[in-house]
């Protein structure tokens, strides 16, 4: 793990701390709970953990609205609890990446409290303020991702402030050099504490157009920023030219990389939400003076098994590669913001109940060229949970109900012990989100004793993958198979070539293959017979080519 490029081809496991394990019985997961399960995570065969925000926050957006960047919120523990977690993780060979939300703060952050008081205080221009139009309406047509205008009027100043997300999440003004310097200081604090890197939330949202020009209408709504809510809305009707992805961001990324380089072996992964995320991803990661890698939600889309095909994998990969120089991609099928993948790509025909489908997706993700991100519970094959309205916590879900329940369905607690109260997540009478019965039946303790479970497969596959340099850093070439339900490609590193083929349907599939593979790996269900790779429903074929 001393390799400064350890993150290239690594598998990074995302922990959503509210829902991982509750150690003190208050119904909410915490940092000591993560520490208690570090051995479980390490046994999966992953290289690092990305922990979603645990900083002090009023929790309007469950931690993505930070009011103090340097302290752990009491519901998650203390700074000393984090130090214990970090030391323990390092002792067993795991890196720790933390989620830095730098585009905006909480409305309760002291910086904003001071900024909103007047137009002439010390932090008056630390946020994006603008006068209303003559008729009192917002300064321009920018929209919030969470619905409604991206502007809220503040009576104290007689001005509007910008928020690309909730009104409780005001955007920082990165055109102010004092803001940039302070944000870098917040990052330095955690680097000096020993973290191995940052996941940078909405990294292309830092800068805005200083002239506050209106966004033009979008010509092609099919290229809209990926969202699980796939109906027309004002945000997706605009081309986001002026409210994000501004050219000034490159200069700040250079400043951030200079800081990271002071701490060898650390890395950054940026989340990009943009109409052309792959072009931007390459621009943000090219060379040695920007981010190390980026990922986006365009491989986290699709709504059912009938629409899911090889294009969901091939198109994003090739879109990135067509811009590629030395940029390095990252891929994920799940995170805390999207419907769980076995449901998203398999719900219509009930595939989300088939463990073989979950296994195929784990292996497919792990064989792609890039850094891989697994979301907690993905290794268990957890489907999306249905949340009754009275239990919904997500403000976006409340806003869109009943059309969509929001993001709570992927945020429900981890099931550890089937027979225990709340499946072992908490000793409280009720957790912050309900424990679905379907998840209880997929608990860790049940799957650990079943050699055919999704968890057992995930451990076997991921630990085997660590021994395969070609899968970690090799080139990728997709194959024509004649079926949109087969995803097949070769991974090549020097003299080693591996064939990887996946059937993402519940029907038997086969395709011609003119090379001679060796014996498929023991966890595979596919076979090679008479110049054909034959794949059973949700079958996998991975073998080194002779």
Q: Which long-range contacts (CB under 8 A, 24 or more apart) does 393-398 make?
A: 393/62, 393/432, 393/433, 394/62, 395/60, 395/61, 395/146, 395/166, 396/146, 396/147
> What is the DSSP code (8-state) at residue 393?
-
The count of residues in the chain is 546
Positive or negative CA dihedral for 126, 128, 133, 136? negative
Please indicate whether residue 201 is annotated as part of the active site. yes
Q: Do 297 and 262 form a contact (C-beta atoms < 8 A)?
A: no
Q: Do 309 and 271 form a contact (C-beta atoms < 8 A)?
A: no
Starting at the earlier edge strand, list the strands of the sheet with 496-503.
Answer: 475-478, 486-493, 496-503, 540-544
3-state SS record for 286-303 = CCCCCCCEEEECCCCCCC
Q: Do 86 and 192 form a contact (C-beta atoms < 8 A)?
A: no
Nearest CA among 158, 162, 150, 152 for reference residue 117: 158
Catalytic residue among 47, 168, 201, 384: 201
Catalytic residue among 262, 289, 452, 477: 262
Beta-carbon contacts of residue 381 (< 8 Å; ≥ 6 apart): 342, 355, 357, 358, 359, 442, 454
What is the biggest distance separating any 2 CA atoms in the chain, rounded to whole angstroms? 79
Nearest CA among 306, 65, 339, 294 for reference residue 197: 294
Kindly list the distances between the CA atom of residue 352 and the CA atoms of 116, 345, 502, 505, in Å, as whole numbers in the listed order. 48, 8, 17, 12
> What is the DSSP code (8-state) at residue 473?
H
For residue 130, report the phi and psi dihedrals to the nearest 5 degrees. Answer: -155, 150
Please indicate whether residue 262 is annotated as part of the active site. yes
Q: End-to-end alpha-carbon separation of the chain, Å?
A: 31
> What is the DSSP code (8-state) at residue 379?
G
Beta-carbon contacts of residue 119 (< 8 Å; ≥ 6 apart): 129, 157, 159
Q: What are the tokens at 14? A: 């995302």
* Catalytic residue set: 201, 262
């Amino acid at each position: 793990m001393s390799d400064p490029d350890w993150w290239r081809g690594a598998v990074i496991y995302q922990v959503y701390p509210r829902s991982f394990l509750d150690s003190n019985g208050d119904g909410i997961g915490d940092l000591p709970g993560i520490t208690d399960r570090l051995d479980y995570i390490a046994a999966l065969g992953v290289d690092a953990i990305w922990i979603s925000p645990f900083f002090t926050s009023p929790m309007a957006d469950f931690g993505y609205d930070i009011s103090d960047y340097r302290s752990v919120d009491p519901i998650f523990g203390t700074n000393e609890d984090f130090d214990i977690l970090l030391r323990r993780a390092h002792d067993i060979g795991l890196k720790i990446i933390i989620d830095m939300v730098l585009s905006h703060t909480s409305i309760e952050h002291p910086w904003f409290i001071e900024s909103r008081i007047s137009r002439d205080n010390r932090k008056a221009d630390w946020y994006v303020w603008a006068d209303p139009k003559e008729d009192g309406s917002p300064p321009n047509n920018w929209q919030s991702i969470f619905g409604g205008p991206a502007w809220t009027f503040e009576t104290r100043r007689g001005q509007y402030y910008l928020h690309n997300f909730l009104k409780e999440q005001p955007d920082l003004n990165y055109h102010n050099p004092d803001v940039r310097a302070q944000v870098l200081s917040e990052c330095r604090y955690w680097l000096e504490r020993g973290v191995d890197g940052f996941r940078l939330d909405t990294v292309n949202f830092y800068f805005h157009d200083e002239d506050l020009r209106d966004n033009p209408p979008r010509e092609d709504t099919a290229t809209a920023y990926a969202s699980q809510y796939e109906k027309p809305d004002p945000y997706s009707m605009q081309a986001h030219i002026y409210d994000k992805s501004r050219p000034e961001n490159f200069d700040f990324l250079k400043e951030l990389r200079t800081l990271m380089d002071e701490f060898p072996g650390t890395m950054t992964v940026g989340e990009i939400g943009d109409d052309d995320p792959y072009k931007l991803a390459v621009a943000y990661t090219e060379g040695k003076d920007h981010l190390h890698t980026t990922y986006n939600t365009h491989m986290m889309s699709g709504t059912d098994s009938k629409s899911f095909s090889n294009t969901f994998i091939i198109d994003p990969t090739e879109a990135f590669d067509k811009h590629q120089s030395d940029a390095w991609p990252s891929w994920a099928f799940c995170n805390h913001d999207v419907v769980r993948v076995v449901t998203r790509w398999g719900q219509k025909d009930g595939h989300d109940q088939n463990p073989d489908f979950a296994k195929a997706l784990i292996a497919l993700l792990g064989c792609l060229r890039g850094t891989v991100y697994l979301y907690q519970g993905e290794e268990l094959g957890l489907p999306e949970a249905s949340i009754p309205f009275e239990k919904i916590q997500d403000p976006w879900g409340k806003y869109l109900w009943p059309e969509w329940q929001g993001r709570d369905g992927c945020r429900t607690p981890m099931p550890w012990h089937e027979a225990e109260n709340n499946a072992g997540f908490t000793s409280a009478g009720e957790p912050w989100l309900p424990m679905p019965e379907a998840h209880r039946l997929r608990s860790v303790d049940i799957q650990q004793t079943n050699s055919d479970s999704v968890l057992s497969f995930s451990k076997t596959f991921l630990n085997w993958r660590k021994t395969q340099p070609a899968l970690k850093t090799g080139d990728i070439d997709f194959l024509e198979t004649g079926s949109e339900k087969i995803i097949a490609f070769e991974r090549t590193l020097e003299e080693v070539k591996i064939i990887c083929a996946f059937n993402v349907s519940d029907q038997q599939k086969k395709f011609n293959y003119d090379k001679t593979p060796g014996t498929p790996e023991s966890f595979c269900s596919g076979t090679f017979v008479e110049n054909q790779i034959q794949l059973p429903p949700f079958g996998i074929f991975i073998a080194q080519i002779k």
